[in-house]
Amino acid sequence: MFRLLAPCRSALAARARRPAAPRCSSGHAARPGGRLLVGAAALAGATLAAGLLVGVGRRRARMMASKSPSGREQRALEELRRKCGRFMSDPVTDLDRLVESRGDVKTEMELLLMQVQADVCRALAAVDGGQAFVVDRWQREEGGGGISCVLQDGKVFEKAGVNVSVVFGNLSEEAVKQMRSRGKALKPKDGKLPFCAMGVSSVIHPKNPHIPTIHFNYRYFEIEEDGQKVWWFGGGTDLTPTYLNKDDAVHFHQTLKEACDKHDQSYYPAFKKWCDNYFVINHRGERRGVGGIFFDDLDSPSAEELFKFVRSCAQAVIPCYIPIVKKHLHDSFTPEEKAWQQLRRGRYVEFNLIYDRGTKFGLATPGSRIESILMSLPLTARWEYMHNPAKGTKEAEILEVLKHPKDWAS
């Protein structure tokens, strides 16, 4: 069972003191004579002194033990260090703090985010075979920080970024306004609303126009209102192809559906529809891609169950995408197809800068790292005046799907 601790505080409450050990005493001495009385008194004094020394020694031992981790904590710390050795970087939160708060949903979520980042980066680097990921660790003065991993100008990927952020502090007025716009009844106290937000976010832009772009994001949010914690999960994975490949779309959606069905068979159809309705470029009248799943503000049935669901979805990223990449690694393409990819990337930029919740929240949060927020943008994009593909072309085919979403998973 998960515990919900105060949002991202740096230390736990002090441990309760143990009662002091009882001091030794000499007992009562018989007094048959004067000399014997003096001897008994001396013996009693020596025994009392020895008892005092024993008591002091025990208290000192307890004090030293309280300052050093217990055997159980030490084993947990060593296990965490081994796990962190497989990450791209150490977690944002201090390891001792993570050990102290093990079992808390925030701790488990941060470790999951770090693992997903490492797994995805290694899978992408293995396919690319060229550039390595640059690992950029950063801190936020207002609280928290993150790890940005970016690969640029690789053999396969023009730009691939996988970011982890764990930030906390007080929400800005603009961030509160955005959340209220989607139904959150937030009530700042004295103009302050403590929050903690953490997530992993990734966008992969391949060079080959026959390999689709993928985006995924999984996050956890906590707000403290009048001492009460309000929490929710959000996230999703979606695919943006330049050209339609029906088999790819089916594989992608079927993999996500299987991840959802492990937890609730109503999830996939609901979150697939949510995705279709969220990634809409309203001023163009079209979707950004062929969809996937998207959800936000999930706070039931429980934090533990939702964490398991998010974990399943995040772990489905590699199997839903890497086989598609490998399938099209050596596909040839024309300059015209490359130009169409650049135009579609322009649409991608339009959605991210105008409509995307994560981008808007990041830009509205004081101390946010702009480079990490805008990591999702491609290296290159293109806009042409009044460009309309001819009917019956492959370009027109993908536009039709973007305007009228289809069901890809049975």
| Catalytic center residues | 215
Amino acid at 191: G
What 3-state DSSP class applies to 295?
A: strand
* Strand-by-strand arrangement of the 157-170 sheet: 134-139, 144-152, 157-170, 194-206, 213-225, 228-240, 291-298
Within 13 Å, how many C-alpha atoms sit on residue 59's CB side? 12
Alpha helix (H) residue ranges in 303-356: 303-315, 317-327, 335-354
Nearest to 373 by CA among 148, 193, 171: 148
Q: What share of the chain is helix, strand, coil (3-state, %, to 5)?
A: 45, 20, 35
Cβ-based neighbour number of residue 222 at 10 Å: 22
| Distance (Å, whole) CA 144 – CA 182 | 26
Alpha carbon 207 to its chain centroid, in Å, reads 27
Q: DSSP of 13-47, one letter per residue?
A: PPPPPPPPPPPP-------SSHHHHHHHHHHHHHH
Nearest to 152 by CA among 133, 129, 126, 124: 133
Q: DSSP of 180-214, one letter per residue?
A: HTTT-----BTTB-EEEEEEEEEEEEESSTTSPEE
Amino acid at 404: H
Beta bridge partners of 240: 213
Q: List, in order, residues 6 or more apart from 78 with CB less than 8 Å away.
A: none
